[in-house]
Structure 1
Amino acid sequence: MKKSTLTILGIAVMIMALVSTTNKLNAATDPQPEDSVIYRDPMLQVANNYGINALGIRAVGTTGLTYKHFNAKGNAFEAILGFGNNSFSITGLAEKYAAPFDSDYLELYYGFGGHAVFQSDSNLGVDRNRFDDADDAFGLGVDFILGLELMIPQTPLALSLDIKPFFEVATTGNAYFGIDPGFGVKVFF
């Protein structure tokens, strides 16, 4: 099997596991009376209880440190400082949170942004086809993100699973497209 097929299959399995876990967590909580309609946004609830900032790690595709800041509407700005073999990247994303699932713990987020990547001695880099054989290279790109975030009840922790497709142009003249799947763990403060 191709590596991309295994990645997509792995993401699908993780999404099913997240949804299953969320349904079990919802079933364990006390239901609200049927005559009252209460809409709670888990991200705003977490922000109220633990803080409006989150710091964490992201792995699989772009691996590195991530920082999120939430505003009063539940939207977020995310910055990712990614590290690779002789390379690093800086990504900024504006994200919108939505609650399409019948869950108090699982939310969908999506958004867009951009990145800059710096790489030296690309023969030692993570993706040798990305920058040819230039000693030093620089790339700029446009990013999109789609993900799921699972809040761990009674804690300031969240797990996320996302894909961050991007299009990039490098100083070598090459254009590059990537899917960039990610798994993250964050703590709110």
Structure 2
Amino acid sequence: MKTFLRVGFTLALVMTLAFGANAQQYKTGIGFRGGVASGLTIKHFIKSDAAIEGILSTGFRHRGAVVTVLYEKHAPAFNAKGLQWYYGLGGHIGFYEGRYYYYYDKHRRDRYYDDNIVGFGIDGVLGLEYYIRDIPFTIGADIKPYINIPHGRGFWDSALHVRYVF
């Protein structure tokens, strides 16, 4: 767990120091995120280099839904027009039907709950996004590590996304 936090903090610090501000190329984007946690995503720029992203994902295996909100910083990537890095922090809250929610305890044993569960935690994100100016869409990929606070367990979530931007 300490290594997980150190890696996330180090990546955020390096990205903050390495990249300067960049004007956003769009104001708002709405689309689909497909990966470990799939669902709807909306991103809105609040400053030229900062955005708020909301993700509504469903967990079919766990029979639940998760709402994630992230504050993201954007910076140019590889001096390529339309390509941007983004990184940030945020949090999530999820609601699950317990009969489908499993996790490992510290002894690596499966646990089974027979009631409804509310989970919450801290999220990070590191991604790369490309803005296609000719058609108002972005495509991108990200890694979104998160820690569930009640259970103290970390996970790696990765996904691809497509957004219509305006």
Establish whether residue 132 from structure 1 lines up as the match of residue 74 from structure 2: no
Aligned Cα RMSD in Å? 1.9
**Kept after mapping to 1: 8 A contact 2:143/2:159:** yes
**Kept after mapping to 2: 8 A contact 1:122/1:132:** no
Aligned ranges 1:32-181 → 2 under 5 Å = 41=22, 44=24, 46-47=25-26, 52-85=27-60, 86-123=63-100, 125=101, 128-129=102-103, 132-134=111-113, 135-170=115-150, 174-181=151-158
Hey, what does 2:7 align to over in structure 1?
A: none
The one-letter code of the counterpart of 1:157 is F
Distance 1:180 1:152 in 2: 25
1:72 CA drift (Å): 3.5
Q: TM-score, normalised by structure 2?
A: 0.76
1:188 CA drift (Å): 0.8
Q: TM-score, normalised by structure 1?
A: 0.68
| CA deviation map 1:38-67 (0-9, x unaligned) | xx95x62x32xxxx1110111111111001
Hey, what does 2:14 align to over in structure 1?
A: none
Structure of higher CA gyration radius: 1
**Kept after mapping to 1: 8 A contact 2:122/2:149:** no
Gaps of 5+ in 1: 1-39
Distance 1:183 1:136 in 2: 30
- Provide the aligned length of Structure 1 versus Structure 2: 138
Identify, as 1 or 2, the structure richer in helix.
1
| CA deviation map 1:64-105 (0-9, x unaligned) | 100110124231000001111211001000000011311002
Distance 1:136 1:71 in 2: 36
Distance 1:53 1:106 in 2: 16
| CA deviation map 1:129-183 (0-9, x unaligned) | 269322211111000000000112312100010000011123xxx2221010011
After TM superposition, the runs of 4+ consecutive aligned structure 1 residues lying more than 2 A away are none
What fraction of aligned residue pairs are identical, expressed as a percent? 32
Stretch moving more, 154-163 or 130-139: 130-139
**Alignment partner of 1:187: what SS?**
strand
The one-letter code of the counterpart of 1:99 is P
Identify, as 1 or 2, the structure richer in strand.
2
| CA deviation map 1:91-127 (0-9, x unaligned) | 000000011311002110000000011101343x4xx
Distance 2:162 2:81 in 1: 18
